[in-house]
């Protein structure tokens, strides 16, 4: 047996001088390691003690979220959205992430996380601007403290760390929560962000939505780590594994991680085990890389169905509450349908407005050129404005 196969051989004592004690491992990794089983609340005895108001709120957000997802997907079929990466099946992650934060905190979403932004209070139409294609970011990030939806994978993670670090330097107790997919954890920026966060003890929470696939590539081809949450120990932060379809469990873990970060306890890596029910986007063909049987297994573990069982068991899912929830979701969908069916009003001259604080002479020339082209088309951009 070699020394690699037999850890523990260090228990031999040596009479020769060794490395100074300071240079040995500084932290016991055990408390940083995730449990082998994802943390769950629904269906357990502990669920009985959950606050009824919170359960109902989470449920209503899930139902709204599901309706939002189906409506946005429908809008792609009508050509109203260029693309939509659906979070159907992952609503628990989206909702829990949004609700775990205080107003002053920041959310750093990826392209799949429009629902988290909407659950945080962002106007659904503004959340879809990127995906409709009228501008890259349809909202002022400061208004709801939501960073722009990020398309290059994992690049939003160092931003979250930097913002949280800056807030702490300024003496504000602001926390940043960053969302990333399982595929995104392979990117260098994931590593650099976690490393910076741990070294700086920045108030950041990283939530990995492990939905099993990066487009078509399954987790087993993405990483050989025991779990994504295990990656945390290498950075010196706790990693926690949660059932990503168990909304109250996720909400509890996220809320606790946010509280810990706010108190100066440093970052946490949370892996939510979930599943993407729809294809990667409306442009993807999921039948090429997974079976219907697999999808059906996950439908049985649907976050909304899980909540309904719990609410029913506790007598909270009254006809009245169910109807009100459904109505709220339908109103959201109707509003979205109506407003997305209006053509956006675009001003081509905006192309030059926000490249630099002041236009360069080159951009002034190019703006004049476009202006002339528009005039020649007899489509004055000014008049297109209402």
Partner 1 sequence: MTTTAAAAARKPATMAQALTRALHDAMAEDPSVHLMGEDVGTLGGVFRVTDGLAKEFGEDRCSDTPLAEAGILGTAVGMAMYGLRPVVEMQFDAFAYPAFEQLISHVSRMRNRTRGALAMPLTIRIPYGGGIGGVEHHSDSSEAYYLATPGLQIVTPATVADAYGLLRAAIASDDPVVFLEPKRLYWSKDDWSPDAPAQVAPIGRAEIRRRGTTATLITYGPSLPVCLEAAEAARAEGWDLEVLDLRSLMPFDDETVCASVRRTGRAVVVHESAGFGGPGGEIAARITERCFHHLEAPVLRVAGFDIPYPPPMLERHHLPGVDRILDTVARLQWESDWTEGRGE
3-class SS string, 208-223 = EEECCEECCEEHHHHC
What is the rounded radius of gyration, in angstroms, for the C-alpha atoms of the chain?
Answer: 24
Nearer to partner 1 among residue 78 and residue 360 (C-beta): 360
Known catalytic membership, residue 280: yes
**Which entry of partner 1, ligand TPP, none binds 361, CB below 5 to 8 A by partner kind?**
partner 1
- CA 284, chain centre distance (Å): 20
Residue 384 interacts with ligand TPP (CB under 6 A): yes or no? no
Backbone phi, psi, residue 110, to 5°: -100, 180
Residue 80 interacts with ligand TPP (CB under 6 A): yes or no? no
- DSSP letter at 49 equals G
User: Using the rule CB under 8 A, which residue among 81, 96, 125, 161 binds partner 1?
Assistant: 161
> In the window 104-143, what residues touch ligand TPP (CB under 6 A)?
112
User: Using the rule CB under 8 A, which residue among 123, 173, 192, 284 binds partner 1?
Assistant: 192
Q: Please, what is the minimum distance in Å from the beta carbon of residue 171 to partner 1?
A: 11
With beta carbons less than 8 A apart as the criterion, state whether 241 and 38 touch: yes
In terms of residues, how long is the chain? 386
Known catalytic membership, residue 276: yes
Backbone phi, psi, residue 333, to 5°: -65, -45
Q: Please, what is the minimum distance in Å from the beta carbon of residue 281 to partner 1?
A: 20
> In the window 243-282, what residues touch ligand TPP (CB under 6 A)?
276, 280
User: Using the rule CB under 6 A, which residue among 105, 182, 271, 310 binds ligand TPP?
Assistant: 182
**Which entry of partner 1, ligand TPP, none binds 135, CB below 5 to 8 A by partner kind?**
partner 1
Q: Tell me the CB-side half-sphere exposure of residue 81, using CA atoms within 13 A.
A: 28
- DSSP letter at 320 equals H
With beta carbons less than 8 A apart as the criterion, state whether 260 and 270 touch: no
Site string for ligand TPP, 25-64 (x = CB under 6 A): ----------------------------------------
209 beta partners: 181, 272
Q: Which residues of 271-300 are buried (b: 16+ CB within 10 A; e: fewer)?
A: bbbbbbbbbbbbebebeeebeeeebeebee
Residue 160 interacts with partner 1 (CB under 8 A): yes or no? yes
**Which entry of partner 1, ligand TPP, none binds 360, CB below 5 to 8 A by partner kind?**
partner 1
With beta carbons less than 8 A apart as the criterion, state whether 202 and 177 touch: no
Question: Cα–Cα distance between 115 and 65 in angstroms, integer?
Answer: 6
Classify 287 as helix, strand or coil: helix
Question: Cα–Cα distance between 125 and 132 in angstroms, integer?
Answer: 9
Closest to 110 in 3D by CA, of 33, 52, 204, 181: 181
Site string for ligand TPP, 206-225 (x = CB under 6 A): -----x-xxx----------
With beta carbons less than 8 A apart as the criterion, state whether 292 and 234 touch: no
Residue 340 interacts with partner 1 (CB under 8 A): yes or no? no
Site string for partner 1, 299-338 (x = CB under 8 A): ----------------------------------------
Q: Please, what is the minimum distance in Å from the beta carbon of residue 134 to partner 1?
A: 11
- CA 148, chain centre distance (Å): 12
The residue number with the shortest CB distance to ligand TPP is: 181
Q: Residues 111, 230, 289, 337: which is the catalytic one? A: 289
Size of the site for ligand TPP (CB under 6 A): 14
> In the window 344-363, what residues touch partner 1 (CB under 8 A)?
350, 353-357, 360-362
Q: Tell me the CB-side half-sphere exposure of residue 225, using CA atoms within 13 A.
A: 19
> In the window 142-161, what residues touch ligand TPP (CB under 6 A)?
151-153
Q: Which residues bind ligand TPP (CB under 6 A)?
A: 112, 151-153, 181-184, 211, 213-215, 276, 280
Q: Which residues bind partner 1 (CB under 8 A)?
A: 135-137, 139-142, 147-148, 152, 155, 157-167, 169-170, 174, 176, 188-189, 191-193, 195-196, 199, 350, 353-357, 360-362
Residues identified as active-site? 276, 280, 289
């Amino acid at each position: 047996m070699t020394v690699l196969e037999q850890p523990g051989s260090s228990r031999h004592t040596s009479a020769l001088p060794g490395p100074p004690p300071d240079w040995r491992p500084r932290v016991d990794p055990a408390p940083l390691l995730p449990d082998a089983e994802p943390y769950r609340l629904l269906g357990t005895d502990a669920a009985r003690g959950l606050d009824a108001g919170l359960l109902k709120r989470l449920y209503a957000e899930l139902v709204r979220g599901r309706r939002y997802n189906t409506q946005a997907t429908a809008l792609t079929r009508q050509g109203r959205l260029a693309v939509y990466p659906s979070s159907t099946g992952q609503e628990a992650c989206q909702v829990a992430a949004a609700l775990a934060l205080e107003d002053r905190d920041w959310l750093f979403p990826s392209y799949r996380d429009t629902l988290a932004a909407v659950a945080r209070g962002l106007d659904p139409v503004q959340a879809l601007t990127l995906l409709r294609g009228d501008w890259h970011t349809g909202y002022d990030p400061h208004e709801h403290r939501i960073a722009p939806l990020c398309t290059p994978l994992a690049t939003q993670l160092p931003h979250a760390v930097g913002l949280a670090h800056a807030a702490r330097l300024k003496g504000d107790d602001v926390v940043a929560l960053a969302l990333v997919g399982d595929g995104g954890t392979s990117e260098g920026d994931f590593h650099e962000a976690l490393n910076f966060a741990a070294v700086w003890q920045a108030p950041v929470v990283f939530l990995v939505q492990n939905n099993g696939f990066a487009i078509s590539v399954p987790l087993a081809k993405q990483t050989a780590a025991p779990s994504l949450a295990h990656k945390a120990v290498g950075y010196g932060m706790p990693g926690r594994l949660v059932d990503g379809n168990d909304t109250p469990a996720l909400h509890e873990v996220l809320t606790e991680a946010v509280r810990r970060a706010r108190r100066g306890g440093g970052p946490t890596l949370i892996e939510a085990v979930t599943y993407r029910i729809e294809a990667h986007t409306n442009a993807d063909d999921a039948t090429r890389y997974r079976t219907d049987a697999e999808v059906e297994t996950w439908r049985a573990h649907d976050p909304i169905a899980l909540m309904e069982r719990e609410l029913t068991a506790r007598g909270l899912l009254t006809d009245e509450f169910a109807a009100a929830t459904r109505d709220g979701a339908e109103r959201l969908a109707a509003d979205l349908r109506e407003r997305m069916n209006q053509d956006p009003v675009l001003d081509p001259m905006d192309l030059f407005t926000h490249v630099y604080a002041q236009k360069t002479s080159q951009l002034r020339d190019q703006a004049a050129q476009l202006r002339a082209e528009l005039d020649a088309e007899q489509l004055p951009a000014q008049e297109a404005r209402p």
